[in-house]
Structure 1
């Protein structure tokens, strides 16, 4: 009887324990479900928000073209049949007006100059003698000692000798010019862009020896569509970007008076800012892209991180009242530093997701937080303080 009572007690205790476990599990499940119902779905991401703002942005017109020399001067030989004995400059050298670039052999020219000078001295001596004879003939004209024919002969000889002296003087001047032409001089300040002169060559008159970029000035010849020419005028500023990535400023000097009938494009000549020739980032012959500055206009802008590129289109995420986001397709425009113009697609009073937009999808639930300030470089240790209540969730941007 005692054994039966013990067995019954053990079974009863086990049954009580099982029943208590079932009751606990059921109550725990109800408690978790209730807690889940109270908290609701969890946000997908913590984000910051921003509103579009008004800004004054520059208006640009883009064009392509080629960098060329403002003017090129051809420096040739004026001497005929002389040998080049020295070439003093090379391509890329900076020269001044009147600087000697090359020299020819001058031995034969000096001999011709000496001969012409001697001929002039002889002609002047004959002219002086003829003048004296003519003066004596004039004094004897009233005495009858000389006939009229003899007197006229002396006067004619005087004029002839004087003319020969002038001719000899002209010959000497020609030979002196030839002597000066044995030195090839720079016709203007500038940079040597081509050289054909070779020491030892015998060249004829008119042979091109050097090419010179006058004053080292370069210009950008932009091709502009005829319908856009009305937006440009003389003095308009431009920013030119060369093929090597360097940038240089310029101003419109002239707009071509005609438009190409083939492609309906007109040339716009833009003077580039002068730079040192040896360090010039832009050189003649380079292809370059430029932007003409046409003024400013007001625009709606947002931070760059607000815009998300997907499938080749631009989108932003707008915050709704239920803390969910809506994906909006927008048309971006001009860029200024880290802000981008929004041409269409967003109301000016919309609240947009800034940081974290790239990780969202349409309809996601998000949590709005304020952006944490940057930490100090060497923060001093201090006692922990309780967090301060956050300011409004929307991050202001002016």
Structure 2
């Protein structure tokens, strides 16, 4: 039986193998621990993206102002010292031109009128007698029966009697006017806006009894800055919303010739539908004295727009988030403009070919990793299959 010979370097070879195996196991353990401590980057949110669109938006100019009566007539008393016996209208009544509004007691005027008629008849009788005397005197002038002085006196008496007739006729006309003034008619068609007349009151001439909105016409007096007045020629259409909620459509009638030196604003007068012709709104009608806001229609233009939900307001500025090819987002500061339904105009700061985060933009920060909503469904299906 032969004995095996152990080479001198065999123990060294066996020790090297054992040491190598231990070192490999140690490195493998450390590598596995390092992988467990380094987490895989996860998306912050699942989003949807859109691209900006070119949309035709209307050009409008907003303004504030007040609704007022086109013209307000003051209806006063022309009679002096008479008592109001009847008042036929009240505030808010619609009246026609010439309609009787009030009446004064006319007994005293009727008596004065009868006296004036009698005075006229007396003056006419005296004038007829004076004319006859003057005619006889002229026929006797050639005979010398009357002196020239007497003939002149008869002629003067005739002229005086004629003058008295004219004076009596003027007095009669005055009394007839007084009788006419006992009735207060409407000077124009419209709506009674104020009533100061009270039955039984004795008023003087010139006392205001009623105020009347002529023809029921209203106007919107819009305050527009001087730099924008030139964009509003007569005939420009305007949509006015009153404080009551009523919406009216009108057109620019004229522009005030002056501008307020303190506010640098001028008045633009917009004709509105009359009080009786307004279409009843959901919250009422427009009345004089109401505050109203409105917009002037200035045409339209093409604009770059995105959905309103894509615009995020932070620190007083507007931002949108652009999606990059590596599925990370970049925050872009933009300047917004007009609104059209659910879309908003972007004036500056956004390329036309950018992909913009539409949903979930308010929860993102600059540089966040995201997942597209259309890509999330296939990934979930694949995971379920595995």
TM-score normalised to structure 2 length? 0.77
Match of 2:294 in 1: 290
Match of 1:170 in 2: 170
Q: For structure 1, list consecutive stretches of 5 or more residues without a partner in the other structure.
A: 1-32, 34-39, 371-398
CA contact (8 A) 1:94 1:277 kept: no
Residues 147-173 of structure 1 deviation map (CA, whole Å, 9 limit, x = unaligned): 333332232222111111111111010
Aligned equivalents of 1:322, 1:138: Cα separation in 2: 130
Q: For structure 2, list consecutive stretches of 5 or more residues without a partner in the other structure.
A: 1-34, 376-386
CA contact (8 A) 2:242 2:293 kept: yes
Look up the SS of the partner of 1:150 in the other structure: helix
Look up the SS of the partner of 2:224 in the other structure: strand
Aligned equivalents of 1:301, 1:128: Cα separation in 2: 97
Match of 1:55 in 2: 55
Aligned equivalents of 1:217, 1:291: Cα separation in 2: 20
Residues 93-130 of structure 1 deviation map (CA, whole Å, 9 limit, x = unaligned): 11222211111111111111111111111212222232
Look up the SS of the partner of 1:342 in the other structure: strand
Tell me the C-alpha RMSD between the 2 structures: 2.9
CA contact (8 A) 2:255 2:267 kept: yes
Distance 1:359 1:168, change over 3 A: same
Higher alpha-carbon deviation: 300-309 or 188-197:
300-309
1:367 and 2:372 correspond: yes
Higher alpha-carbon deviation: 258-267 or 358-367:
358-367
Higher alpha-carbon deviation: 360-369 or 178-187:
360-369
Look up the SS of the partner of 1:141 in the other structure: coil
Residues 217-272 of structure 1 deviation map (CA, whole Å, 9 limit, x = unaligned): 22222223333333333333322222223222233333232333333333333322
Aligned equivalents of 2:292, 2:88: Cα separation in 1: 33
Higher alpha-carbon deviation: 199-208 or 276-285:
276-285
Look up the SS of the partner of 1:84 in the other structure: strand
TM-score normalised to structure 1 length? 0.74
Higher alpha-carbon deviation: 306-315 or 216-225:
306-315
Q: CA deviation at 1:197?
A: 0.9
Superposition pairs of residues 340-355 of structure 1, within 5 angstroms: 340-355=344-359
Aligned equivalents of 1:301, 1:82: Cα separation in 2: 72
Q: CA deviation at 1:44?
A: 6.4
